[in-house]
Amino acid sequence: MNVATKVFPIALRPEVPSTPAEAEWIADAAEHLLNRRDVQFKRRLHSPQGVSFERFALAVDEHITDRLMSAIQSNSVLGRLAMHSRCKAASDAATVADELIGPDPEETLREIATKLLKPLAADALIAQFEDADS
């Protein structure tokens, strides 16, 4: 463990940039999460790793809860979402869901997925190499 890990709290640690291969894996894996699929891999002699769609949905829920607590959108947004969904008004429900997520919902969802996937990228690439090597 390096000194920075011991000294700086997690929020203040400098972000290590991803390699091009890691960035490509993260982008592909984020697309899987956005399409409601789990991301899983297994390295030799290690336990399976990944991010389930359920974990991604929980992270999106936490993001939305933070936005609700900061009163960024109207007070009726959850009620409108529930009613539009209940009435099967998909277009209206999608519009309200976008309001909940933020000004650029697609980018926000990708950022959430990326935060979950980035710590796994190096191991995922090793797992791919191990799979190709066998």
Q: Answer yes or no: is 8 within a domain.
A: no
Q: Answer yes or no: is 16 within a domain.
A: no
Q: Is the pLDDT of residue 4 over 50?
A: no
Kindly indicate the confidence band of residue 131, based on its pLDDT and cuts at 50, 70 and 90: confident
Q: Answer yes or no: is 125 within a domain.
A: yes
Q: Answer yes or no: is 124 within a domain.
A: yes
- Where is 85: in which H helix or E strand? helix 77-86
Q: Is the pLDDT of residue 105 over 50?
A: yes
Kindly indicate the confidence band of residue 35, based on its pLDDT and cuts at 50, 70 and 90: very high
Domain count, the chain: 1
Question: CB neighbours of 77 closer than 8 A, spacing ≥ 6?
Answer: 68, 96, 99, 100
pTM value?
Answer: 0.82
φ, ψ (nearest 5 deg) of residue 81: -60, -45
Q: Which amino acid is at 51?
A: V
Kindly indicate the confidence band of residue 1, based on its pLDDT and cuts at 50, 70 and 90: very low
Q: Answer yes or no: is 5 within a domain.
A: no
Q: Answer yes or no: is 122 within a domain.
A: yes
Q: Answer yes or no: is 3 within a domain.
A: no
**Domain enclosing residue 84, as ranges:** 50-134
Q: Is the pLDDT of residue 83 over 90?
A: yes
Residues forming a β-bridge with 51: 39
The pLDDT, as a whole number, for residue 12 is 61
CB burial string 85-116: b at 16+ within 10 A, e below: eeeeeeeebeebbebbbbeeeeebbbebbbeb
